[in-house]
Structure 1
Amino acid sequence: MSTTPTPSASARAGAPAPAATSATSGTALQILFSVAFVHLLNDCVQAVLPSIYPLLKQEFALTFTQVGLITLTFQCTASLLQPWIGLYTDKHPIPFLLPVGMCVTLLGVGLLSVAGSFPMLLVAAGMIGVGSSTFHPEASRVARLASGGRFGFAQSLFQVGGNLGSAFGPLLAAAIIVGRGQGRIAWFTLFVLVAVIVLVGVSRWYGSHLKSAVRKSAVHAGPGLPRGRVIQALTVLALLVFSKYVYMASLQSYYTFYLIEKFHVPVGTAQMYLFLFLASVAAGTFAGGPIGDRIGRKRVIWVSILGAAPFTLALPYASLFWTGVLTVVIGLVMSSAFSAIVVFAQELVPGKVGMIAGVFFGLMFGVSGIGAAAMGHMADVAGIESVYRMASYLPLLGMLAALLPKMEK
């Protein structure tokens, strides 16, 4: 008798694979859009903080250094916990950590609306950061689990939700808070409550798919590189994140101050320029992941970081019109890298999806916070324009992308 499997037997033997991909055939779009939507709400609330810096600076008589310390407090609490949360939940998944962490953000936003002193502002910023640190690793894991194998697309969709939130945050802050007082910040607790409700449903889906997630991570083979080569590649990726987000911190934290001081535009106009920049970041992020799926993530990383250098070098010497144009181009080009970097790193270290997401999201927040604090001090000492002259050279570190291994077949 022949022992060749029949088609039906072969289909039964391969049956676990489709079940392991997602709840639907291909990408579980409902879950992907849910985590992207919550990422939008989460980062919209976070973007309110730098958007109201001019208000806080005036009301509490803050220096640029103190403004940088607020950003540093938020970014550090948002970064230091993320790798550890990701590492722990790789071994012991906690689906309902998602809505619980968002509740911490809720408390932070409420405190920010009633804070009466600089230390209380720091505590509120820290609580918002803690909520962020619990959200990003687990939400990134859910996005990958629901990707159906389209990892770049899923990561970009998840990330673009956050970018859109960051873009709309300043507009909503201008419409709701600016000119009306600190107490109006409390309106943003409604955004966080919606996020908590959505995350309860996402957590239930995630909990029901934990077994398939464990099974996929167990059979996923790595790139077959020596340990030293993997460490070298991760170090290069970390340096690229450093160059990208220190520069981005200079735009997100001080762009409005730069426009007001150099071009004497009103706060509302400066907020519109910031919105244009953040919207371009969202567009570039959405494009980066699918392009990386198609042409290779290393190429996207290379072009995204180094390709922004001519524009960053020209920015400090541009007129108001060309400043707006250049920042939009910089946002489009530089933002396409992060999704590719995260997926590239996850493929280097399979089975550690949460830890890698936590490390790189945490590195993003930590580097941004340190960069913002350092640039705030530089602005106090040498003037706000010096920040953009010094930071313009950072994208040249994109040349390090040549050291990354080529893993695409």
Structure 2
Amino acid sequence: MSLGHACVDVYQGAVAALVPYFVAERAYSYAAASGVVLAASLLSSLVQPLFGVLTDRWAMPWLLPLSALTAGAGVALSGVTGSYAPTLAVVAVSGVGVAAYHPEAARVARAVAWGRHTAMGWFSFGGNAGFALAPLLVFAVVATGGLGASPLLAVPAVVGAALCAAAVRKAGAGAVSAGSPVAVGRDDWASFLRLSGAVACRSVVFVGLSAFVSLHVRERTGGGVAAGTAALFVLYAGGAVGTLAGGRLAERYGRLVVVRRSYALTVLAVAGLVLVPGPAVYLFVALTSAGLYVPFSLHITLGQDCLPRRAGTASGVTLGLTVSVGGLAAPALGALADAMSLRAALLPLIALPALGRLLLCGLREPASPDHTVVERPDPRGPAGR
């Protein structure tokens, strides 16, 4: 599941990694380039909670390989569409594929992990590793062959579809069928909404930096395309490590303690990234990555424990709707960068982790699956009870 997750989330990272090439080869403005990021996020943000609701009602393991192929097809076609509108359309299709994947994948991963933070951390690690590899993959393909070589970016989708199919078979019917254990407990919507607000603040920071950090670092250091690609790689690669660290830290100190401190770190790190010139900016990119990613898998398990009866819905919101809010804010950042400067557009990102930290104040640790009553549906259905 972790490797399949990596192959799918390559396509979330690939959209941002393609932005500098759209600017260079097609002369997109900052606003137009951020519109591509929006296209990948907008439809995804609307449909991912819907997929979460569906997976709460029916197991759909077949959706995993199909969504991997859909995510890859959209990005693979984005470099050969030519005009702006078709590019937005195929990137949006890729976003739907990513949206379809995550709720069902998180449900299956949770069934296999039985709520263990480290196990879910490994699942999230796969996705974040895919993010980290995306800039390198795009650089290897597009920097050498131009946007016309983008169909080669479909390779991870084919591999991911095969891995997902194999993982579902190996997990067995107990993890993927509608007869899997169902947690019983009261859904705490108030806490879930506050958590979702914090995740949304984190999302705007992450997506804004994903879209523009490579261009920003090139401005601050005077480097070329390689310098910007390196910054994006640091942002994503640090996250892969941070996700694993988050699971281990949560088992020692508690999830909410780790999440709150991560948001506090992010405030200082983003300030340094935006304001500090020269090569030192890479240090602050790494610290920002840690602050953003350490709580990543903890958001998922906290959301699922806040809504124990609706794990798919919780996954769809924490992985989808709130994360995609960042894509909705990207055009505003792009327009501000066109009107003023890229640095001025990134300044508001310093305040958002502080707002997220405030939303987390007063939240209590929800009951974990280890302390939750579990029922198994009667295989004979209601008539068998």
Distance (Å, rounded) in 2 between the aligned partners of 1:211 and 1:372: 36
Per-residue deviation, 1:196: 1.1
Identity of aligned residues (%): 27
Per-residue deviation, 1:379: 0.8
Change over 3 Å in CA distance of 1:399–1:46 after alignment to 2: closer
Distance (Å, rounded) in 2 between the aligned partners of 1:247 and 1:106: 25
Equivalent position to 1:399, from 342, 358, 361: 358
Change over 3 Å in CA distance of 1:111–1:256 after alignment to 2: same
Q: Aligned ranges for residues 39-118 of structure 1 at < 5 Å?
A: 39-118=5-84
Per-residue deviation, 1:140: 0.7
Matched, 1:128 2:94: yes
Q: 1:79-105 deviations in whole A, cap 9, x for unaligned?
A: 211111111121111111111222322
Distance (Å, rounded) in 2 between the aligned partners of 1:106 and 1:278: 19
Q: Aligned ranges for residues 7-406 of structure 1 at < 5 Å?
A: 35-150=1-116, 152-205=117-170, 208-210=173-175, 214-217=179-182, 220-222=183-185, 230-397=188-355, 398-406=357-365
Distance (Å, rounded) in 2 between the aligned partners of 1:391 and 1:99: 35
Distance (Å, rounded) in 1 between the aligned partners of 2:103 and 2:218: 36
TM-score with structure 2 setting the length? 0.90
* Maintained 8 Å contact 1:163/1:278: yes
Amino acid at match of 1:330: T
Distance (Å, rounded) in 1 between the aligned partners of 2:176 and 2:74: 34
Q: 1:294-322 deviations in whole A, cap 9, x for unaligned?
A: 32211111111123222223333212222
Q: 1:90-129 deviations in whole A, cap 9, x for unaligned?
A: 1111111111222322431342242111111101101110
Per-residue deviation, 1:206: 5.2
Q: What secondary structure sits across from 1:393 in the alignment?
A: helix
2:378 maps to what in 1? none
Per-residue deviation, 1:334: 2.3
Amino acid at match of 1:266: G
Amino acid at match of 1:381: A
Amino acid at match of 1:403: G
Distance (Å, rounded) in 1 between the aligned partners of 2:363 and 2:241: 25
* Maintained 8 Å contact 2:243/2:294: yes
* Maintained 8 Å contact 1:113/1:182: yes
Query: How many residues align structurally?
Result: 367
* Maintained 8 Å contact 1:84/1:358: yes
TM-score with structure 1 setting the length? 0.85
Q: Which has the larger radius of gyration?
A: 1
* Maintained 8 Å contact 2:59/2:177: no
Q: Which runs of 5+ in 2 are unaligned?
A: 372-385
Distance (Å, rounded) in 2 between the aligned partners of 1:249 and 1:353: 25
* Maintained 8 Å contact 2:199/2:323: no
Change over 3 Å in CA distance of 1:210–1:284 after alignment to 2: closer
* Maintained 8 Å contact 1:42/1:132: yes
Change over 3 Å in CA distance of 1:102–1:317 after alignment to 2: closer
Q: Which runs of 5+ in 1 are unaligned?
A: 1-34
* Maintained 8 Å contact 2:6/2:130: yes
Amino acid at match of 1:66: A
Q: What secondary structure sits across from 2:113 in the alignment?
A: coil
